[in-house]
Amino acid sequence: MGIESYGLSVGSLPHGQRNSIADVADVKVGHSTIEDPGRGLHTGVTVVVPCEGPVFSTRPVAAAHSLNGFGKTCGTVQVAELGYLETPIALTGTMNVGRVADALVENALREEERAGHALPQSVNPVVGETNDGRISRIQARPVGTKEVLAAIDGASKDFAHGAVGAGRGTVCFGLKGGIGSSSRIVDEGGRSWTVGVLVQTNFGRMPDLMVCGRHMGPQILERIAEDTDARAPEKGSVMVVVATDAPLSSRQLGRVIRRATVGLVRCGSYMGHGSGDIFLGFTTGLSMGAEGSALPTCERVPEESLDALFRACAEATEEAVLDSLVSAEAATGLDGTVYHSLTEFL
């Protein structure tokens, strides 16, 4: 049930069949959720698988952008430099990044071995994170190889949204955050392309929250005035993963993913000091292939046609954030703070 279930809508472009990042061909998403109340663990990992077959030898064209760099991501420097992925994109809690990166290397080795390829001597694992320490005992670092491989092996077109996987312990605009997703279809120059977005939301202040153009934050704050945490400074982060089937160069893709900023602002974010706002993007419409392969012949979207993709990214990001809020059920933090679901106020 997305935001449309409440009679609300975002933007003007149509969305895909699933209204998720999985509307982009070959893209799948998997989760592993750790739920152990006795140990204070409410966390997990979410993996975006960008293609069929080994990611390392396919090398989908990719881009990375840091809007506000208060984050502990892994692998984004090489993505920005070389413009392609070598592993799926994994999202998790801050303290799990190193363990998840190691698991992605393990997965790359097993995929290449299964494909009969020579094993790589270097792998660039891509991991994003937000700090879920308000709801989960983050220092336990419970996400490891078992959970990451399970998320990859269980990845599918139809995946859960809300307080699952990497979104299990997140907080967004003082409400329960999580994993959200949306998509948009654009027609340009006689061609149809899909832009899909997946977010891990852990950012924003309740007084700033906008829902489809309505400034709802102050109204919600009035109703839960006893919850002082809702007035606290912004201290979370957001990961935005953008996928498309449009044939874009890494430079063009970077231009597109930067428009996720528009979607975040429409929800009320101002990217505070303590917020890491990191964007990753890839296209299934163009890949680099294995090292040493022949020079590829490839088409590119004309620069003047990018406007439609810019709009699609902005709209899908805004709706993905709202989707994370309406898909997540209320949760209680480690200190007893209740993080309500947005559905309680719609």
Helix (H, G, I), strand (E, B) or coil at 342: helix
Q: Which of the following is catalytic: 277, 287, 323, 324?
A: 277
Give the torsion sign (CA, 150, 154, 157, 161). Answer: negative
Q: Is 187 a catalytic residue?
A: no
The three-class DSSP label of residue 170 is coil
Query: Rounded distance, CA 88 to CA 73, Å?
Result: 14
The two structure tokens encoding residue 93: 């809690």
Is 277 considered catalytic here? yes
Q: Do residues 60 and 88 make contact, with C-beta atoms less than 8 angstroms apart?
A: no
Residue 197 contacts residue 21 (beta carbons within 8 Å): yes
The residue from 57, 181, 237, 250 that is catalytic is 237
Residue type, 281: G
Of residues 275, 287, 327, 341, which has the active-site annotation? Answer: 275
Q: Give DSSP secondary structure letters for 121-136.
A: S----EEEEE--TTTS
d(CA 321, CA 328): 11
Which sequence positions are flagged as catalytic? 237, 275, 277
